[in-house]
Amino acid sequence: MQTILNVEGMSCSHCENAVKKAVSAIDGVTAVEVSLAGKTVSVTHDGRVSAEDIKREIEEAGYDAG
C-alpha cells in the first residue's frame, strides 16, 4: 500500500530527515520518500498503517501533514 501526504513546515534537509525518521519508525512502514521541494511524503506500508497514523507521527515531529 502507498500513502502520499502533503507536509508543511519543512525548510531544509534536516527537516526532511526528521520526517523520514519519524515515519520510518512506524511499525509496518517499509519505505519512505520525502520531497522537500514537493512538500510531500510517500510512504509504502502494510495494512496495519493508516494515513492517520502517518499524519500523527509527522505532527509529533513538529510538522503539519494533510
- The minimum distance between CB 57 and Cu ion, in angstroms, equals 17
Given the rule CB under 5 A, which of 13-21, 24-32, 37-45, 49-57 is the region that contacts Cu ion?
A: 13-21
Beta carbon of residue 12, minimum distance to Cu ion (angstroms, whole number): 3
Using H for helix, E for strand and C for coil, what is the string for 1-62?
A: CEEEEEEECCCCHHHHHHHHHHHHCCCCEEEEEEECCCCEEEEEECCCCCHHHHHHHHHHCC
Q: How near is the Cβ of 61 to Cu ion at its closest, in Å? A: 11
The residues of the shown chain that bind Cu ion, judged by CB under 5 A, are: 11-12, 14-15
